[in-house]
Amino acid sequence: LVSVQTQNKQMASVKVVSYKPNPRVIKSQIVGKIAGVSVESAGWPMGEGKKYLWDVTGGTALAEDKVTDSYQKTDAFKKANPFGEVPAVFNEAGTEAIFESNSIARYVARLGASNKNLYGADAWQSSQIDSWLDKGHELEMAATPWIGSKFGYKNDDAVIEKAKTSTLKWFETANTYLTGKDFIVGGSLTLADVCVTVSMGMLFSVCLDADQKGKFPEIARFIQKRMGEAEFADLVAFEQVMAARMAAK
């Protein structure tokens, strides 16, 4: 039985298929805690994706002689999720999917019995939030070679340097914008605060050195404020795991 999203009078529930832990899933887990939605991650350990058969219900460990150099996915997974990536959420029949982490976070916010203006108070604020979610995704993509290099993934020096330049430029713009602000849009916590904090947080803690962090005091203040809120506990735990992995290298 594919039971990835159910709703009853007590609490809605969403199952996200992904590797674990995944900071992109943490976006939805934070939103779920605020909106009253149970968000479960089902899949495989980080870095172990080739040892599992990906399916709409999660992942099944492959026998050692079945493991290859490619990611293996069931036909149902590929049909419902045409780009074949994770994280993804599937409907109960396993025939349709929501993919991309920000889209899943939006879904969780909409599903909540009380979204507490997570998606803004009106159409204008909702569109402002969308703008920041798009820019946060842009940051994640631009920074990928740089953060990858911190965990031993090889790339050309020029590619890493370009990623570093783009990331620091993004941070410069955001730092100016956040001056004097506790929230990105409006006067209360929204999806923008959740998703952008996750996007910025890992990069800020792992990639930036002390001198670079010192140039972005408003971002440091903003992240520290969010990380001190109970709903962000999963992000705090994730960054501790990543810090330990880096220390072990």
**pLDDT tens readout for residues 62-90:** 999 999 999 999 999 999 999 999 999 99
If one counts every other C-beta atom within 10 angstroms of the C-beta of residue 183, the result is 15
Angle between helices 233-248 and 191-206 (to 10 degrees): 20
Report whether 4 contacts 57 (CB < 8 A).
Answer: yes
Task: Report the pLDDT averaged over residues 42-62.
Answer: 96
Where is pLDDT greater, at 245 or 210?
A: 210
Report whether 205 contacts 239 (CB < 8 A).
Answer: yes
| Sheet with 58-61, edge to edge strand ranges | 58-61, 52-55, 72-73
Q: Among 50-59, 84-93, 108-117, 139-148, where is mean pLDDT lowest?
A: 108-117
With 80 as the cut, is the pLDDT of residue 113 above it? Answer: no
* Per-residue pLDDT at 117: 86
Confidence category of residue 240, pLDDT binned at 50, 70, 90? confident
d(CA 225, CA 210): 19
